[in-house]
Every structure is written in structure tokens, then in C-alpha cells.
Amino acid sequence: MAASRPLVTVYDEKGQSTGKSVVLPAVFRAPIRTDIVNFVHDQMRRNKRQAHAVSTKAGEQTSAESWGTGRAVARIPRVRGGGTHRSGQGAFGNMCRGGRMYAPLKVWRKWHRKINLKQRRYALVSAIAASGVPSLVLAKGHSIETVPEIPLVLTDKVQDIKKTKEAVAILRKIGAWSDILKVYASKHTRAGKGKMRNRRTVMKRGPVIIYDKDNGVKKAFRNIPGVSLLSVERLNLLRLAPGGHVGRFVVWTESAFKKLDGLYGTWSKKSQQKADFNLPQPIMTNSDLGRLLKAFEIQSVLRAPIKRQARRKIKKNPLKNISLMSRLNPYAAVQKRSTLLKQLKGRRTGTTAESKVAARKARTHKSIRSNRLSGVNLVKKTSTEKVGTTTKTTTVATKTKTTVATKSS
């Protein structure tokens, strides 16, 4: 579905849209892999380094010898001879004054890095793709609020301008001037020794102009602070993702924009200018995770979410917890209630001595009576009576039982 790629309108140097539009190159659909960009940028940055080292002779130009033990001095080599301050001073060690440093720097350090071609290309492709996403360009820090469209494509006339004045006018018209004002505002002196090493001022990066044929563009734009210029044929990751962060503000010329498809290929057609290269495959065809997860196809296969998790129950003691006890033994509640009532009864009548005595009397009377009825051995009774009573008691006993029951219930 190459046809599903959108169209990008071409703007003229006055910031108005010409009627023309170009199909968006497939590069802008490539996966944006910031990790690869970061890595490759990091490696690439090392390639411009110049070797530096410390002199091999530094700190070694003495014939110092250690005095050994027994002289009440530390055992580092000391300078021979006499008659000068230097004699007897420590030498050679990195801790000594005037000694050689620890691990003296050598020129044969690995200054440059090899990066795999595919990685390089992947990073570049990601950087280009990111430059087409307005959010990422904004996040990088460019002020593109006044730009008519992203990606911004200008007519080929821009390639022919020769004067910086015209260049500035163009930038103003297309709404990129605010970004350059930001560059002006950010100019400051570098912190550190770079000041005296020809790197005095530091400033932000502005837009990058990518052209196909240089008929004066480079010279026209190069004096404007912040602006970088690149040819499509030789795109530089260090300019497209400065600092290792994707999303630089890019201004394309029409012919440059059209060349991208040929340079990087579309998935269905490989690159014509790079040998055996096609755009990297994304891992997900549809990376809108939010939408995917809500989709019916996935939701229908999932189990229901567990909203309330059953946690471990604390075991409660029935002897202390009445509700639990009554669940186990319903009569327990009854029993408890009766005891409570009894207690309350006693409380209501009061616990005076008289009442206590009376209560005890009542109890004993009751007990005596019940015993008599039940046939418990009482001293006063005769045996005959006993017999008679026993028969009686059987019937009565049941009675009493019931009465007791009724009382307690």
C-alpha cells in the first residue's frame, strides 16, 4: 500500500504553498531506534579526535635510585648527587613532584571507531524518520510553532540563492526565524579550557538545510548562526541527531526530498544507490499498544481481570469471638445469654448481706427441695418415705427438668 503514504506540499521561498506536492518517502516511516542512534552517534563522535599524549621522557629524565631501607626515609627512588634542592628528592613515581604521571598517555590509543555499515545506516534512517515527527522536533527544543508543515519542503529555487540576506528572508517567511533567535539567545562563553583552545563560544543548533545541488545555498546560509547545511548524498548523523538525540528541525529542498526514496529505498523496492540496502524492518507492524490492548481480538482471548484478590484470612479464636462460636455452636449463644441474665439478676437485686443471705437461703431451700424430690440421701428422711418419694420423683423429676428448662430458656 505505497499509495497510503501521504503527500507533502512544497512551499516556495515566500512561505506560500505552491500547488505541488510530493509523496512522502518511505524513510519517514522507518522505526525510530533511539538506542541505535545514541550508540552510533557516540562512536562517530570519536572519529574527529586528534591524538594527544604526554612526552615519553617526561619525569624519566633522572638517574634516581632508591636509598633502600635503613635511612629513615620512604623507599621511592631519590635523585642522586648534591648541591641543589633537587638532590634527594623523590623521582619517577606518579606521587612524586616532578615525577612521571600514572599511565603516561600514548599516541597509539584507539582514537577512532569502526561502526558497522548497517548500524550507521539504521541510525541515519531513524534520525530522518524522527525529523518528520513534529512532537519529537519540539521535544528536541526547536521552536517550530510557526512552521507551516513538517516535513518542510521548499522549492529548488532555494538552492540558487547567493545572498545571506535572501537566506534570512526565506527563513523568516517559513517561520524558522524564531528557532534562530533561540540560537542567538543561547550564545555564551564555554566553561572550561576549551576557551583557550579555539572553542570559545557555544550555542544551540538551529535548522539544517538539506539540498541536492549547491548553487550558492551553502554560502548563503552558512553565516547564519545555528544553521547547518547538508547534501542529500552525504547525510551526517552528527548533524541530524546532534547530541545523540533525534529530532532536529530539517528544511528540505524539493529535489533532495525526492531523492530520498532512491537513496534509502522503500520496503517494496530496495535502494538504488546503496548496494543491497533496504529500510529496516520494524518489529511491530502496528505499534499503537494502547489501541491494540483494547482491541476485541485480544480482549476476547483474555480472562477477566482480577479486581479483588482473596487474601489470607486471620484465624479467630471461637472461645473469644462470640460470633464465630455461635456459627460453630448455635447453643453457645443461648448459654451465654442465660448466664448473663443470671448475673444481671443478682446485680439488680443488689449484693447486700441480707440479699446474699436470702439468696443463699433460697438456693439451699431449692436444693433441698430438689434433692428431696430427686431422692438424694437426706438425713431426716426414712427409708419408706424414700421409696415413696423415688417413685414420685421419677415423675416429678421430669417435671422439674422441664421447669428448669423453661426457666432457663
Partner 1 sequence: MTSNEKIPIPKMNRSRWGHPLVFIASIIGLAGSSAVYYAQIRARQKARNTFLEQSFYKEALELTQGYKPITEKLVEPIQPLQVDTTSKFNILSPLGAQKMQHDDVIWSVLNGQFCSYKQQKSKTQIFCANEYNLTGLCDRRSCPLANSQYATVREEKGILYLYMKVVERSHYPKKQWEKVKLHESYIRALKQINEHLIYWPRFVRHKCKQRLTKLTQYIIRTRRLMLKKTAKQELVPIKKKAERRETRHEEKAFVAANIDRAIENELLDRLKKGTYGDTYTFPVNAISLDEEDDESESEDEKEEEEEGENEQESEEEVEYVEDFDESDAEDMEDMGDDDIDEELIKALPLSKKRPLEIEYESVEIPVRGAERAGIIYCYATRNSPDDEWHVDKLEFKASNQPERYLFYDRELRRKSK
CB of 276 to partner 1, least distance (A): 8
SS (H, E, C) the chain: CHHHCCEEEEECCCCCEEEEEEECCHHHHCCCCHHHHHHHHHHHHHHHCCCCCCCCCCCCCCCCEECCCCCCCCCCEECCCCCCCCCCCECCCCCCCCCCCCCCCCCCCCCCCCCCHHHHHHHHHHHHHHHCCHHHHHHHCCCCCCCCCCCEEECHHHHHCCCHHHHHHHHHHCCCHHHHHHHHHCCEECCCHHHHHCCCEECCCCCEEEECCCCCHHHHHCCCCCCEEEECCECCHHHHCHHHCCCCCEEEEHHHHHHHHHHHCCCCCCCCCCCCCCCCCCCCCCCCHHHHHHCHHHHCCCCCCCCCCCCCCCCCCCCCCHHHHHHHCHHHHHHHHHHHHHHHHHHHHCCCHHHHHHHHHHHHHHHHHHHHHHCCCCCCCCHHHHHHHHHHHHHHHHHHHHHHHHHHC
* Closest to partner 1 by CB, 293 or 340: 293
* Closest to partner 1 by CB, 74 or 139: 139
CB of 214 to partner 1, least distance (A): 21
CB of 142 to partner 1, least distance (A): 9
- Map grid coordinates 424414700 to a residue: 386
Give CA separation, 172 vs 181, 207, 383, in Å: 11, 12, 134
* Closest to partner 1 by CB, 88 or 134: 134
CB atoms within 10 A of CB 53: 12
* Closest to partner 1 by CB, 6 or 83: 6
* Closest to partner 1 by CB, 28 or 122: 28
CB of 289 to partner 1, least distance (A): 5
* Closest to partner 1 by CB, 29 or 386: 29
CB of 150 to partner 1, least distance (A): 6
CB of 246 to partner 1, least distance (A): 7
* Closest to partner 1 by CB, 113 or 269: 269
Residues whose CB falls within 8 Å of the CB of residue 181, separated by 6 or more in sequence, listed in order: none
CB of 60 to partner 1, least distance (A): 46
CB of 282 to partner 1, least distance (A): 6
Binding stretches for partner 1 (CB under 8 A): 1-7, 19-24, 26, 28-29, 32, 34, 38, 129-130, 132-136, 138-141, 144-150, 175, 243, 245-247, 254, 258, 266-270, 276, 278, 281-282, 285-290
CB of 152 to partner 1, least distance (A): 10
Do the beta carbons of residue 108 and residue 102 sit within 8 Å?
no
* Closest to partner 1 by CB, 138 or 230: 138
* Closest to partner 1 by CB, 33 or 100: 33
